[in-house]
Amino acid sequence: MEQLNPVKKKKMIVDLPGGRQVVFEIAENIEDLITDLSDEDKVPCWADIWPAAHGLAHYLWEKEAIGPGKRIMELGAGMGLPGIVCALKGAEVTLSDFNPTALEMASENARQNGIKVRLLQEDWRSFHCREEFDFILASDILYDPKLNLFLGQIFSQSTHPGGTVLVAHPHRKATREFIEDSAVYGLREVKRELREIELTGTLLPRYEIVIHALQPAGQQKDRDFSPGKSASV
């Protein structure tokens, strides 16, 4: 996918629990990047850090056993905040998105914070990567039921046995429905946590972010979840 407009950037300081700060560059004005609102693939939602990404980043920084030796993939990474936080903790991180400009900016954000990440340009609808990861990060990407089917399949095939998918969202209906149906993808919810996030310069000053941890329910590899196929668990 081509992103034709050059991106004017602005600096953003992200505060993590415990006083650690991460410096990011994001788009100065997302509206400048809109070329065709009738095409959902061209909506530049990659160019900001969404509240869910802040919530997930806080959670990852404080809670999960993430560090050297762990392989992590962030899907629909956009600016890549949660993945970059994992890389700061020493994990081996792959940032994936279908938008090349998002990946370029995320990579530069990683570099500015003194770490390296691997980039993977992939579309969920034709996902080729067949690697397995200890953690898959999904910050505010389960918003479109048409796409959720593909994401469910990627979660299932890309999670290492014993691995975890972390889904973060600001109480989105489409995400809630995905979690309720996660058994269809061979996953089960093992943990749920709420995070209050305060952000300045956003639509609302405070967001409640839900973080779900999903794990493979059993040996569910190589199953076909494509439309029309039933997938009983």
Ligand X SMILES: C[S@@+](CC[C@H](N)C(=O)[O-])C[C@H]1O[C@@H](n2cnc3c(N)ncnc32)[C@H](O)[C@@H]1O
Q: Are 134 and 90 in contact (CB under 8 A)?
A: no
DSSP state, residue 212: E
Residue 175 structure tokens: 């995400």
Q: What residue number has its CB nearest to ligand X? A: 76
Asked if 140 touches ligand X (CB under 6 A), the answer is: yes
Asked if 125 touches ligand X (CB under 6 A), the answer is: yes
List the x/- string, 185-224, binding to ligand X by CB under 6 A: ----------------------------------------
DSSP state letters, 129-159:
----EEEEEEES----HHHHHHHHHHHHHHE
Q: How far is the CB of 50 from ligand X (least distance, A)?
A: 4
CA 18 – CA 182 distance, rounded (Å):
34
Asked if 102 touches ligand X (CB under 6 A), the answer is: yes
Cβ nearer to ligand X, comparing 76 with 163:
76
Number of residues that bind ligand X (CB under 6 A): 21
CA 212 – CA 23 distance, rounded (Å):
26
Q: Give contact residues for ligand X (rule: CB under 6 A).
A: 45-46, 49-50, 52-53, 76-79, 97-99, 102, 123-125, 139-141, 147
